[in-house]
Chains A and B, each alone.
Chain A
């Protein structure tokens, strides 16, 4: 049984050692303007390549959208 986390309310099967940057790549969001929160804490963009996701983590992936 492989480890999973939750991304925007959806279950995501983790690769061993999966980082935030790798997660974005797997979600086909590599290179896009993605904002990431892990367990309620904002993740610094400069740390996307270093922060490893643990089993059971709750992630939110957001971005700027049209708004007033």
Chain B
């Protein structure tokens, strides 16, 4: 039986989603995306620099067509702004999928739950497949699910911090209660963090800075791919229960040194 991730009826072989930001060059980004094995990447939407000839380099020239582009609403501080950006992206030919981010706080980049829910409702009504970035609040997760979001995407730690699953217990409750895929997004700093998220039962992870800011982003992308596979396999295999005291792995009888 193949283990695939299904989001809004679309199947993905990979449970790793990557961001395209923060790479030194588009060539490195392209190679890292390929090494990660991911099938969906996020992009931001920005005004074209009219001073650069032809607008400058085009990221879509560096992304294979079979990848699903997931436009984000990064930079939006209100629901109205996020809806506006999502509509612009879709009208111009990007997919009708959107990574919804409504973030009024530049220090910790924590999302506004009220505006996120409001935007999610509008975008779902408008026919979008909505993947909302959120704090791991189980009640908010349920509300986002109720308005029709395709996933919920709780953060592990603030964006770009690489601090790992700081909100592990809360994410565990979101996973336990969710009826849509749970994608842990933001704050994962190393492959072991990603493996941990998958072992906990997350359906997928979204990683950007940890790959882009590695000394060797292409090798790190591969490491994340392996970690996500390992974490998912471990989850399906059933991780053993923790014990309070030691339990010997070798026979306690028949000791060579016994009298």
Query: Interface-forming stretch among B45-53, B193-201, B231-239?
Result: B45-53
Within 8 Å of chain A (Cβ to Cβ): is B173? no
Q: Across the interface, do B20 and A66 meet the contact criterion of CB distance under 8 Å?
A: yes
Q: Across the interface, do B50 and A68 meet the contact criterion of CB distance under 8 Å?
A: no
Given the interface contacts A35-B89, A42-B88, A42-B92, does A64 sit within 8 Å of B44 by beta carbon? yes
Within 8 Å of chain B (Cβ to Cβ): is A55? no
Pairs across A and B, CB under 8 Å, 8 listed? A29-B54, A32-B58, A35-B93, A43-B91, A63-B46, A64-B60, A67-B45, A68-B19
Given the interface contacts A35-B89, A42-B91, does A65 sit within 8 Å of B50 by beta carbon? no
Within 8 Å of chain B (Cβ to Cβ): is A62? yes
Given the interface contacts A28-B54, A33-B93, does A66 sit within 8 Å of B43 by beta carbon? yes
Given the interface contacts A29-B54, A29-B55, A32-B55, does A65 sit within 8 Å of B46 by beta carbon? yes
Residues of A within 8 A of B159 (CB): 68
Pick the residue among B45, B50, B208 that contacts A64 (CB under 8 A): B45
Query: Interface-forming stretch among B66-74, B114-122, B139-147, B245-253?
Result: B66-74
CB of A38 to closest CB in B, whole Å: 10
Residues of B within 8 A of A29 (CB): 48, 54-55
Within 8 Å of chain B (Cβ to Cβ): is A5? no
Residues of B within 8 A of A65 (CB): 43-46, 59
Within 8 Å of chain B (Cβ to Cβ): is A52? no
CA gap between A30 and B35 in the complex, in Å: 32
Residues of B within 8 A of A37 (CB): 84, 88
Pick the residue among A35, A66, A67, A68 that contacts B94 (CB under 8 A): A35
Closest 4 CB pairs of A and B: A67-B44, A68-B19, A35-B92, A68-B208
Given the interface contacts A34-B92, A35-B89, A35-B92, does A68 sit within 8 Å of B48 by beta carbon? no
Residues of B within 8 A of A8 (CB): 47-48, 50
Within 8 Å of chain A (Cβ to Cβ): is B21? yes
A34-B92, A45-B92 provided; 15 other pairs, C-beta below 8 A?
A: A8-B50, A10-B50, A33-B92, A35-B92, A40-B84, A42-B84, A42-B92, A63-B55, A63-B58, A64-B69, A66-B22, A66-B26, A67-B21, A67-B43, A68-B186
Within 8 Å of chain B (Cβ to Cβ): is A1? no
CB of B161 to closest CB in A, whole Å: 13
Given the interface contacts A32-B58, A64-B71, A67-B21, does A42 sit within 8 Å of B45 by beta carbon? no
Q: Across the interface, do A64 and B47 meet the contact criterion of CB distance under 8 Å?
A: no
> Binary interface profile of B, 23-52, with partner A (CB < 8 Å = 1, else 0)?
100100100000000000011111110100
CA gap between A61 and B52 in the complex, in Å: 13
Considering the complex, which residues of chain B in the window 79-104 have a beta carbon less than 8 Å from any beta carbon of chain A? 84, 87-94
Residues of B within 8 A of A66 (CB): 20-23, 26, 29, 43-44, 59
Within 8 Å of chain B (Cβ to Cβ): is A36? yes
CB of A40 to closest CB in B, whole Å: 7
